Amino acid sequence: MQPRRILVVEDDAAIRRGIADALAFTGYEVLQSGHGDEGLRIALSAPVDLLLLDVVLPGTGGFEILRSVRSARTTLPVILLTARGEEADRVGGLRLGADDYVVKPFSVRELLARVEAVLRRSPERPEPVSAIPFPGGSVDLARREVRFDDGTRTGLSERECELLQYLAMNAGRAVSRDEILRRVWRLEPRGVETRTIDMHVANLRSKLRDDAEHPRRVLTVRGKGYMLGTA
């Protein structure tokens, strides 16, 4: 099997070499760049499976690279490398479409775990979903409403739509509460109460006419999180 290829764009040579060595030792093929302009060119032209991207770079900045990658290669997974305490960078990156982030200084074990988790979610970043059919009706995410075959319609909040869309984009796997906080709520999960997610799930089940005791549309996977049902 062809090894996964990862592009590391990081201007600190020591950090970049350390990342590259750890990835290569684990079995990945690695491309490297220490400059934003070159990193952007490689990201847009080379066949890579994941981009590890520093936020602060000489030349083209990390956020601008992320914007360009999201426009040209919508399914390429991106993990940001951010400085400790720079919450605005992490939130801004997630809003621009980054799949995850790692805060400097980080351990090799943490970095490899994040890389493996992002690559494991799907071969490529899932495409957005605009409609979700289910027995007896469907969800129109663009109009933010649930439509039932009996003609009934129920409105959804923006957050409910974002949560449903993320679950639909990751159909077939359980999505953890921490991942939901990062990708839907755009919050760092450490120290954040996750009951608000459970409340949104309960509201969604009600609006989808899902059985609260034995749900079939928004499933709870014990010890893992939530996933979209197929029935």
Determine contact, residues 139/156, Cβ cutoff 8 Å: yes
Region 155-180: mean pLDDT is 88
Structural domains in the chain, sorted by start: 5-121 (3.40.50.2300), 131-228 (1.10.10.10)
Instruction: Look at residues 35, 45, 54, 77 and name the one whose alpha carbon lies nearest to residue 170.
Output: 77
DSSP letters spanning 198-212: HHHHHHHHHHTT--S
31 and 9 in contact (C-beta within 8 Å)?
no
Instruction: Please tell me whether residue 127 adopts helix, strand or coil conformation.
Output: coil
Helix (H, G, I), strand (E, B) or coil at 9: strand
Q: For helices 13-26 and 108-121, what crossing angle results, to 10°?
A: 60
Rg from Cα positions in the chain: 19
Model confidence, pTM: 0.57
User: pLDDT tens for residues 83-142?
Assistant: 866 677 777 788 888 888 888 888 999 999 999 988 877 554 556 678 999 999 999 998
pLDDT for 85: 63
pLDDT value for 26:
94
Mean pLDDT to the nearest integer, 159-180: 88
Tell whether the model's pLDDT for residue 147 goes beyond 80.
yes
Q: In whole angstroms, what is the distance from residue 154 CA to residue 139 CA?
A: 9
Q: What is the mean pLDDT of residues 6-25?
A: 95
Give me 115's structure tokens: 């890389």
Asked if residue 139 lies in contact with residue 154, where contact means CB atoms within 8 angstroms, the answer is: no
SS3 106: coil
Task: Give the max Cα distance, the chain.
Answer: 63
How are beta strands 137-140 and 78-83 bridged, if at all?
unpaired
Q: How far is CA 138 from the centre of its chain?
A: 24
Output the pLDDT for position 127. 61
Question: Which tokens go with 132?
Answer: 């979700």
